[in-house]
Structure formats: structure tokens, C-alpha cells
Amino acid sequence: MNKPLSIAAIKEQLQEIQSLEDQRWTAIRADSRKGVQAAIKSWERNYQLNLGLRERQIQMMSFEEELKSKGRLAIAGIDEVGRGPLAGPVVAAAVILPTEIPFLPVNDSKQLSAKKREQLYDQIMAIADVGIGLVSPETIDAVNIYEATKLAMLQAIANLQQEPDSLLIDAMKLPLPVEQQSIIKGDAKSVSIAAASIVAKVYRDRLMTEYALQYPHYGFEKNAGYGTQLHLAGLDSHGITPIHRKTFDPIKTMLRGQ
């Protein structure tokens, strides 16, 4: 009689199994050991979760599928991060996913954990044509945050390797002679915009973590420049840095009082 596989070996097999049709699944389910049954329950939870995510991705591909039916081959999803912070740049990303979009459990970047965003960022960067746009605090102060966001998006598109034939943009219209759709809450409705949202968020968060080394009193590695209690306390104690937005309150009021 063959010795049964160890529980550790069965857990490894479960990581490889993607479908209930896998022959190994029948054998594993018949194993009555408590450790195996616990591993089965965990696998089934993840399987159901992934089924839901795959169904959601199909729904989120409706804009892309409609454009593909019209012959569009280079569809760029565009989103930005960093309109609201008191410090740091506004960052936009433009993402052209491959024609056959693989399974990417994407969503609005704010709805994902930092670990999941990092994993998805690496996946997206490996398979997609990605352009990044970055507009400095000085430019934000000079032209206002709305116009700076447009500039960041235009930069991101210009930094793509290929020229897009259609744009899906999160709640924005751009002055470009390219077919485009402005989609409210697009990062929750379009897989391409969601991918751009994740790329922009991770890119900016990493940048703000680097700034935290240069300006260590504001918690940029935790708050990404938003006006948290720690950040405001840093402003009170250490003043304004070169990466603060001088047209944003309370910084604008602090400057008036100087």
C-alpha cells in the first residue's frame, strides 16, 4: 500500500490546482486527515474568491471589448494619483494591456492592500506598455491641480512606446485628437483604467517613501503626503519643505503668516 502524501506535499499540490476538474482534487478531497481538510477549506475559499474576481474582470473588460470590436488595437487606460495631498507630485499612468488580457484581479487601487498593489504592479509592468507622467508641486502651484493632472496624463501618454488609438480615462477629457471616453469611477469599471490606477499609486507611494528619507519628520512613507495628524505636526514643528504645495491649505495660510 502506498504511503499517503505528507500534508505539506498536499498543500503544494493545492497551490498548483486551478480547476475542480484536476484529477488530483478528487484524491485530495478523499483524504480525511484534519490538516488536509483544513487545507481543502482554505483552497475552496480562495477558489471561490478567484471565481468572483474573474467574473468581475469580465465585467470590467466591457469598454475594452467594445473598442476591440471596432478594430481598436492600442487601448490606453489612464488614471492619476495625488490630487489631494499637501506634498509631492501628481502622478499619472497610461497602460495599454495586451490584446489577450490575462487574469489580473485589479480594482480601484485604494480598495487593494499595499501588498496586492505591489504584486499587481509587477504583473502589469511585465506584460503592458506603460507610460508615467509626473508633475511637480511647483507646477501644481503655478497652474492648479486640475490642469496639472491633465499635464501628467498627457506626459504619461507621450511616454508610451506605442501611439494609442483609443483612450479610456478616469473622469477627464484630454485635448488630444484621439478617440476617448471619460468614465466616472473608471478605476472600478475598466480593467485598463484600474491597471493605470495601480501603477500610478505604487509609483507615487515609492517616490514619497524616498522623499521620507530626505524629509523624515512628516511621515511621507505612511501618508504619501496627505494631511494626516503626523504630517500636520511635522509642518508645525519643522516647517515647509520644497515638495510642499504652497497653494494648498494649511500651507498657504502658514506662508501668509510669515
Nine-digit cell at 169? 480615462
Burial of 236 (0-12, 13-18, 19+ CB in 10 A): exposed
Same domain, 128 and 184: yes
- Tell me if 40 is assigned to some domain: yes
Task: State residue 50's pLDDT score.
Answer: 81
How many residues are given for the chain?
258
Burial of 139 (0-12, 13-18, 19+ CB in 10 A): middle
Same domain, 68 and 189: yes
Same domain, 124 and 78: yes
Q: What is the largest CA-CA distance in the chain?
A: 85
49 band by pLDDT with thresholds 50, 70 and 90: confident
Question: Which has the minimum average pLDDT: 50-64, 99-113, 178-192?
Answer: 99-113
Whole-structure pTM value: 0.84
Same domain, 224 and 149: no
- Tell me if 50 is assigned to some domain: yes
2 band by pLDDT with thresholds 50, 70 and 90: low
The more confident residue out of 22 and 146 is 146
- Tell me if 2 is assigned to some domain: no
Strands (E), the chain: 75-81, 90-96, 129-135, 166-170, 180-183
Mean pLDDT of all residues belonging to the chain = 93
CATH number of the structural domain spanning residue 82? 3.30.420.10
Same domain, 232 and 139: no
Same domain, 80 and 169: yes
Nine-digit cell at 168? 479610456
What does the pLDDT average to over 208-222?
97
Last residue of a domain, one of 59, 78, 93: 59
- Which amino acid is residue 8, in one-letter code? A
146 band by pLDDT with thresholds 50, 70 and 90: very high
- CA pair distance 251, 246, nearest whole angstrom: 6
What does the pLDDT average to over 161-168?
97
- Tell me if 205 is assigned to some domain: no
Same domain, 170 and 71: yes
What does the pLDDT average to over 209-217?
97
- Tell me if 100 is assigned to some domain: yes
- CA pair distance 166, 146, nearest whole angstrom: 22
- CA pair distance 11, 195, nearest whole angstrom: 31
Question: Which has the minimum average pLDDT: 89-93, 112-116, 195-199?
Answer: 112-116
Same domain, 113 and 125: yes
Task: State residue 109's pLDDT score.
Answer: 65
- Tell me if 229 is assigned to some domain: yes
- Tell me if 217 is assigned to some domain: yes
Q: Which domain holds residue 44?
A: 7-59
Same domain, 41 and 152: no
Q: What percentage of the chain has pLDDT greater than the value 70?
A: 97
Same domain, 240 and 133: no
Give me the number of domains the chain comprises: 3
Last residue of a domain, one of 182, 200, 218: 200
Task: State residue 108's pLDDT score.
Answer: 61
The more confident residue out of 212 and 56 is 212
Last residue of a domain, one of 200, 224, 239: 200
Task: State residue 258's pLDDT score.
Answer: 64
Same domain, 93 and 160: yes
pLDDT above 60 (res 187):
yes
20 band by pLDDT with thresholds 50, 70 and 90: confident
Task: State residue 119's pLDDT score.
Answer: 93
Task: State residue 103's pLDDT score.
Answer: 84
- Tell me if 1 is assigned to some domain: no
Same domain, 149 and 246: no
Task: State residue 5's pLDDT score.
Answer: 86
